[in-house]
Amino acid sequence: MKRFFLVLAIMLSVLAHAENYLINGGQNSRFNYVLTQQIEPAGDTKYIKLSFVVPQSFDSPTYRQAIENYRLDLRPQPSKQNESVDKRGNKVVQLEWTKPSQPVDVAMRFTAVTRTDLKPLKSTAAFPLSNIPPEFSDYLLPTEQVQSNDPGIQSRARTLVQGVTTEFDAVQRILSWVVDNLRYVTPPRQYDALYSFQSGKGNCQNYSHLSAALMRVAGIPVRIVNGVTLKQPYTIKTTEGEFTFKMGQGRHSWIEVWFPDLGWVPFDPQQTELFVSNRFVRLEVGVDNNETVNDGTVKWRQAKGVQGRPKFHETIEADFTADQVQLSMAKQNYGPKNMLLVPQVQAAFVPVKVETPPPPKTIPQDRLDHLQLSKPYLFGNLDYPRGLNFFDVRSAGQGQEDEVVLKKNFMVETAEFVTEKDIQFAQVFILDRPLKLAKIGLAMKKFGGSGQIWLELLKDTNGMPGDVLVTSDFMDLAGIPLRQSYDWADFNFQTSDQKLSPGRYWIRLGFTGGPILNWFYTYGKSVGPVDGTRYKGVFDTTWSGAMTYEFNYRVAGYTTP
C-alpha cells in the first residue's frame, strides 16, 4: 500500500462524514484566576481539612502556561498548614482548621499567561515505541479506572494500530475511534474506561480513561491531567464562515501523551482536539482520576449525633486582561464522522476515500397527506442532567471512621443565554421518517423576566436555517416555574396539524418582552451534524456562525406504524 509523508490524519474504514479539520495559528492570553471556597461549620465540628494543588508552569510543543503571583488568602488562619510534593511531581498544600467556630474562607489567586501554538509539528517517533525510560513505566500500567488489561480493550487497541509505523499515527487512530464511538453524557454511571468502552457513554473522565487504556495497550505512556476550563469563548475562521468554541467554567480532565522526541504533549479527547486550547489551566497529573484527588478535596469530622453538615460553596472566576486569537482551520476529505481538530504534523498516513450517504428521501406533500401517522415517536438530544442543582453537586463520601469527604467533581453548567436581543440561535434536527408534529421541547432554565416565548420550525436551505415553516403556540413565561435546575419546556404544535417529510429542519426560539432563559447544551454533537448549531446577529442575513456543541431538544409526534 502506498504511504505518504504529509499532514497526519488517519481513519481505519470508510466513514459517512469526513470531519477532520487541519488547524493552525495560535492563542495568547493573560488572566487573573480566583478559586474561592467557603465552608460553614455545622454543630460540633472537630476539624475541617482542605487540600489544593499549586499550579505550575508547563511547556509543551503546543501548549504553555506560566504562573505568576500565586497566593492563598485564608480566613481565619488554619491551625495547620503543610506543603509537599507527591510522587507525580504535584505540589500539594494541606490546610486544617481545628474546632472552627466561624466560616472558613479560602481564595487561591494567581495570574496565568497561557499560549497555544499550532504551528506545524514534526515527530520522528517510530511505532511501536522502544527504550521507554523507566520513570514512565507507571503510565503504561492498568489501573482501577484505566483497564488496559481488559481483553476487549486490548483487542480493539491492537486492531486500531495494526500496520502503524509512527507514534502520532497510532495516537490519532485511537483518538479518532474514541471520538466516533463515545458520546458525552453527564453524569455517567461510572467513570472508568471499561464502562465507557461497553456503554459508549461518558464525561471527560471517561474520554481520558478510555483513550489512556487503548494507548497503554499499544505501549504508549499516557498520564491523566486534571485542571480547569474557562468559559471565555473563541472563534476559528473557516472558508465557510466561523466556528465558535465554548466550554463550561469548571473542572476538566484530559490526557498527556509521551513522545521520545517531543516530550509530554497534551490532547483533549472529549473536546476532540489533538491539542488543548489556552482556556485550560493545568493543575494535577496522575495515572488516573482516582490518583489525582489532591486538588479540591474537602474533609471534616463532627461529633457523633450532630445533625446537619457543614455548608460548602465554590466559585471559579477568570478575568482576561489580554486575549489574542488567530486561528484558522480547513476541512479535509478524510477523517472521523465527528469533528476532530488536528494541527499539522509530518508523519506517514494512509488517506481513505470518503463515501457520503444520500440525504433522506423526501415524500411529496400529496402522498404525505394520505399517510397514516399514528405511532408515537420521540427523538432528539435527550441526555442532560435534568433536575440537577449545579450549586450543590458534590456528593459526600465516608473517610476514616466518621470523617466525611467531599471530592472534586467534573459537573459544569453548559448553557447559552438565548434571549439576547442581538443574537439568534438555531438547532438542526434530521428526520429519517415522516412525522406528524406534536411538540418540541427545549432543556431550559428560567432566571426571571417576563413576556412570551414560542418556537419557530424553519426549513433547511442549503444546509442553513431558511424560511419559517410553522410556529408553535405561544407560551407565557409565567407558566415556566423558577427552579434551581434545567427541565423540559415543551412547545405545542398540535393545532397546526403539521406533517413533516424526512429531511433537515431547524428550531429557533422567539420571544417578546424581557425573558431571561438559558438553553442547555451538550459537548460535541450527540445526534446531529457538526455544523448543526448556528448563530447570527439579529440583523445579519446569513447564519455563518457555527457552534461546536449541540443544544438539548426533543421532538415528539406520530409516524407510520
**Exposure string for 206-218, b = 16+ CB within 10 A, e = fewer:** bbbbbbbbbbbbb
Pairing of strands 435-448, 553-559: antiparallel
Pairing of strands 183-184, 201-202: parallel
**Structural domains of the chain, with CATH:** 13-25+119-292+324-349 (3.10.620.30), 27-116+293-303+310-320 (2.60.40.2250), 365-387+404-559 (2.60.120)
pTM above 0.85, yes or no: yes
**Exposure string for 262-297, b = 16+ CB within 10 A, e = fewer:** bebbbbbbbbbbbbbbbbbbbbbbbbbbbbbbbbbb
Q: How far apart are alpha carbons 488 and 455 in whole angstroms? A: 13
pLDDT tens sequence for the chain (561 residues): 333 333 333 333 333 355 778 889 999 999 999 999 999 988 889 999 999 999 999 999 999 999 999 999 999 999 999 999 999 999 999 999 999 989 999 999 999 999 999 988 889 899 999 999 999 999 999 999 999 999 999 999 999 999 999 999 899 889 989 988 999 998 899 999 999 999 999 999 999 999 999 999 999 999 999 999 999 999 998 877 888 988 889 999 999 999 999 999 999 999 877 889 999 999 999 999 999 999 989 999 988 877 778 888 999 999 999 999 999 998 887 777 778 888 888 776 655 444 566 788 899 988 998 999 999 999 999 999 998 888 766 655 655 667 888 888 888 899 999 998 899 999 999 999 999 999 999 999 999 999 999 999 999 999 999 999 999 999 999 989 998 899 999 999 999 999 999 999 999 999 999 999 999 999 988 899 888 999 999 889 899 899 989 999 999 999 999
Tally of residues, the chain: 561
Q: End-to-end CA distance of the chain: give it in Å, rounded.
A: 49
> What does DSSP assign to residue 268?
B
521: which residues sit within 8 A by CB, 6+ positions away?
414, 415, 416, 533, 547, 549, 550, 551, 552
Reduced to 3 states, what is the DSSP secondary structure of residue 209? helix
